[in-house]
Amino acid sequence: MTQDFASVLSEWAARTPDAPALTFGDERWSFGEFDRLASRSARALAASGLKPGDRVGVLSRNCAEFYELLFACSKANIILVGLNWRLSAMELEAIIADAEPALIFYGESEGALLSPEVRSRPGLRGVVRFGEDFRAWRDTGSGAAADAPRMPDDVAMILYTSGTTGLPKGSMLTHHGLSFTRQLGENWGMGPDSVNLVAMPLFHIGGCGYGTSTFLRGGHTILMRDAEPARLIEAIERHRVTNAFFVPTVLQSILDVPSVKEADLSSLSLLMYGASPIGEALLRRALDVLDCGFIQAYGMTETSGTIVTLEPSEHHLEGPGAERLRSCGRVLPFAQIRITDVATLTECAPGQVGEIWVRSAMVMKGYWRQPSATAEAITADGWLRTGDAAFCDEDGFIHLFDRYKDMIISGGENIYPAEIENALLFHPDVAEVAVIGVAHERWGETPRAIVVPGPARTPDPQDLIDFARTRLARYKCPTSVIFVQSLPRNASGKLLKKELRRLYR
């Protein structure tokens, strides 16, 4: 039997129907209850005229309905498209036009992001708001079959990542690729007694991927709407949470809550962190205050989640093992990694910097409707070219070195400079622009725009920042602007980002 999300949920519903599966706010569902709800939603999808392979968009902050639709779509072999509510309406419109969902579900506070043009798109059968409207919709499918045939290689989810050209790319994640989440949970010691706190956004692989790990291991998932630090501490105490995943900025915000040292966090067994680098001072403080095992994770949307981990036993702040904290760990058993010389395409020797290539059943099927981008990313023999530069030491530990694609990671979110540059070039007083990442105390990195002003006048820096915010999600926008007479380029006219970083970082 295919080990997809739906079949595993049904398995636990049969084995432990009364065990707690999900808590959101003041509501709690057992595995039996949640499986029945997911089946009702799967029937409603069929009653709405959707067929296997059709897409469903979900635009909402974290909520129980997202999980319900995740499992319902798995049952019906319908593709769930996670929509990032942090994007602007213009950005979302482009993604929706690309994915062409037959239904869109949204949270009450996210409805304003769905423009009249989106709501009236040809082929869109309906737009359903979570809450009373969603419950009424769910009741429409009482007579339809719940499960549809599905194959391991069928696409289960599409999660969009920004491309270096500024165009969104939809990573097609298969039932089989996502099924490794269950093995990841086993690797992290999760089981029926585990209580997992999920606070990362579910449209992100760090939310919907990690967020299903304990679910698929028969444990209890505590879902938070937002990563509000005081409430996270309260939830750990109240629910006796054993596992959690936070990006370093969230971890820092938790440690900055004055009452954290008085809180009873003794139930916490394993805390995973990742998505951006963590400073030694923050890690030292976290180890001291939280007093639990720490594990670092490296992965990406295109790999359906985590493929490299630095285990708790390798978190040594002092002594010979301390050097390993500069790495992101070693590859997990169900993936292969090779560090590849980008010039010769041969495998690098230990200590030599090259591009991380990954081969695994976890790797995406490709980019939705982008065969050229897929061919560039995945080699003929199945290696995913990540664009991340690293070296591997003699003991197999992967050390991230730089990012080939100039990507900026701010607060755990990936930001591509070209996307910001393209937006700012629409400003009438911008002749040229380049964007680099600069250090930020809270977010790790933040975008800085280096601008050559137009001949008419030099714009105000805040005007450019505000202009970017009309076209891009706020977290993507530059937080500082520097004006220059020219940008450094080589003889062929290529922009020298390395020189910009040296001058303006």
How would residue 166 be classed by pLDDT, with cut points 50, 70 and 90? low
The domains of the chain, with CATH numbers, are: 5-18+30-174 (3.40.50.12780), 335-361+370-405 (2.30.38.10), 408-504 (3.30.300.30)
HEC-encoded secondary structure of 229-273 = HHHHHHHHHHHCCCEEEECHHHHHHHHCCHHHHCCCCCCCCEEEE
List of E strands, 334-381: 336-340, 354-359, 366-367
346-to-121, 245, 330, 349, 375 alpha-carbon distances in Å: 47, 35, 20, 9, 19
Q: Indicate the range of 72-81, 118-127, 316-325, 463-472 predicted with least confidence.
A: 316-325
- The tokens describing 211, both together, are 């967020």
Q: What is the mean pLDDT of residues 317-341?
A: 90
In terms of phi and psi (left: phi > 0; alpha: psi -120 to 50; beta: otherwise), the region of 80 is beta
Identify whether the C-beta of residue 100 lies closer than 8 Å to the C-beta of residue 125: no
- The tokens describing 145, both together, are 């079959």
The Cα–Cα gap between 9 and 1 comes to 13
Q: What is the mean pLDDT of residues 258-272?
A: 96
459 SS3 class? coil
The Cα–Cα gap between 165 and 40 comes to 41
- The tokens describing 47, both together, are 């009653």
The Cα–Cα gap between 85 and 59 comes to 6
The residues, ordered by sequence, that sit 6+ positions from 470 with a Cβ below 8 Å of its Cβ are: 88
Length of the chain: 505
Q: What is the mean pLDDT of residues 18-42?
A: 97
315-to-72, 153, 284, 292 alpha-carbon distances in Å: 39, 37, 10, 11
The Cα–Cα gap between 256 and 287 comes to 14
Beta strands 413-415 and 408-410: pairing type?
antiparallel
Q: What is the mean pLDDT of residues 93-118?
A: 96
The Cα–Cα gap between 60 and 417 comes to 26
- The tokens describing 198, both together, are 């999920």
Q: What is the mean pLDDT of residues 3-8?
A: 93
pLDDT at 276: 60
pLDDT at 439: 87
- pLDDT, tens digit, for every residue of 394-435? 999 998 865 666 778 888 887 878 778 878 888 888 888 899
Q: Say if residue 165's pLDDT is above 70.
A: no
Identify whether the C-beta of residue 397 lies closer than 8 Å to the C-beta of residue 450: no
How would residue 491 be classed by pLDDT, with cut points 50, 70 and 90? very low
Identify which has the larger pLDDT, 187 or 409. 187
Identify which has the larger pLDDT, 38 or 249. 38
The residues, ordered by sequence, that sit 6+ positions from 446 with a Cβ below 8 Å of its Cβ are: 408, 410, 437, 438, 440, 478, 479, 480
pLDDT at 29: 98
Nearest one of 490, 376, 485, 481 to 420, comparing CA atoms: 481
DSSP codes, 34-92: HHHHHHHHHHHHHHTT--TT-EEEEE-SS-HHHHHHHHHHHHHT-EEEEE-TTS-HHHH
Q: Which residue has the tokens 């390993």?
A: 324
Q: What is the mean pLDDT of residues 73-87?
A: 95
How would residue 366 be classed by pLDDT, with cut points 50, 70 and 90? very high
How would residue 267 be classed by pLDDT, with cut points 50, 70 and 90? very high
421-to-215, 434, 498 alpha-carbon distances in Å: 41, 6, 16
Q: Which residue has the tokens 């981008």?
A: 373
The Cα–Cα gap between 415 and 298 comes to 17
Task: State the helix-helix crossing angle for 248-255 and 280-290, rounded to 10 degrees.
Answer: 50
Q: What is the mean pLDDT of residues 471-499?
A: 82
